[in-house]
Amino acid sequence: MQAASVIRWPQPITEYIGFIGSLLPAGAIGFRYVVMRGAIARGAGASADATRRRVYSDTARRAAMIGLIGVAVAIALMLYQLPGLAARRHTTVADLVTHTAAVELQGGFLLLALIGFALALRGTNAGWPLATVGFLAALLRNGLLGEWKDLANPIHVLSAGLWIGTLFVMLAAGISVVLRNEVAREERGAIVSDMVYSFSPLALAAAAVLVVFGVIIAWEHLHVLSNLWSTPYGIALIVKLCFVAMVFALGAWNWRRQKPTLGTEPAALALRRSATSEVLVAALVLAATAVLLSIPAPRVKKPAAVPSAVPTALPAISP
């Protein structure tokens, strides 16, 4: 079996870029609405309230910047892929953009998300709700079009974003800002603890949804269990699942072993190290997924499918 020959390059690269465009905004939203909100509520009685407010406003802006980068990547990738999609559909880009509901919805809502994150970056209150509505509507646009059966992949991506994306944003925009803040020196350990305790329930729920929809998508593609070990697609899925098992193991370690020790700065530093490993292995899961998406799934015999209107994850367009 020549695994290399079944991979349709450069599709894994565009898929990976597409994941960045989905997971960063989802993570920014998860961080703002779950981690920060939870941490603010937990620390409401803390002695240094004003200090905390300043720290949280800093972390919110950094999270908005990460979300903005993600949406900008998604838009850039969509623009890059439109000519290819138009050619495959024997039409023009202008026609595609103005006459294909999925493309119109994706483009319009991504623009809304971009404006929302830009406003949030400036500290404008309306920014976060706009960004959230825009991003969720762009990702789950199949639902808006009544194509419910095509929602499994976007929900899988959304839950991956709310778990791994939020963890990434918590590390890059939350914990790193807190641990560098001189004014909040006395409070650093407690603030990180409040963030991690607020993140945990989101991570557990998102991981459960991720697995449920992962299994559904896998079953839709494999059709029979033996395809798991007898086809290149199935073997790529096994490789992915090995990395997934490592992410779950690291997540369980952080949850059961690291989280209960939190409260001090050394414990926060240790948590940051192990959570960074979790994000790095998750990056390998995404690499395996990008390859998986570029390998033809073992389909049941039926008439050749017309390429879907636009990709299931935000930007990547199926060839």
Footprint of ligand HEM (CB under 6 A): 19, 153, 156-157, 160, 164, 210-211, 214-215, 217-218, 221, 237, 244, 247, 282, 285-286, 289, 292-293, 297, 312-313, 316
Q: Which residue is nearest to ligand HEM (CB)?
A: 214
Minimum distance from CB of 241 to ligand HEM (Å)?
Answer: 6
CA atoms within a 13 Å half-sphere pointing along the CA-CB vector of 56: 24
Minimum distance from CB of 290 to ligand HEM (Å)?
Answer: 8
3-class state of residue 189 by DSSP: helix
Q: Which amino acid is at 292?
A: L
Is the separation of the CB atoms in 52 and 46 below 8 Å? yes
Tokens of residue 203, six digits:
């991570």
Q: Which is nearer to ligand HEM, 96 or 164 (CB)?
A: 164
Minimum distance from CB of 258 to ligand HEM (Å)?
Answer: 18
3-class state of residue 95 by DSSP: helix
Minimum distance from CB of 309 to ligand HEM (Å)?
Answer: 13
Q: Which is nearer to ligand HEM, 153 or 193 (CB)?
A: 153
Q: Which is nearer to ligand HEM, 93 or 217 (CB)?
A: 217
Minimum distance from CB of 161 to ligand HEM (Å)?
Answer: 8
Q: Which amino acid is at 147?
A: E
Q: Which is nearer to ligand HEM, 19 or 168 (CB)?
A: 19
DSSP-assigned letters across all residues of 231-287: SHHHHHHHHHHHHHHHHHHHHHHIIIIIGGG-SSHHHHHHHHHHHHHHHHHHHHHHH
Tokens of residue 167, six digits:
């963890």
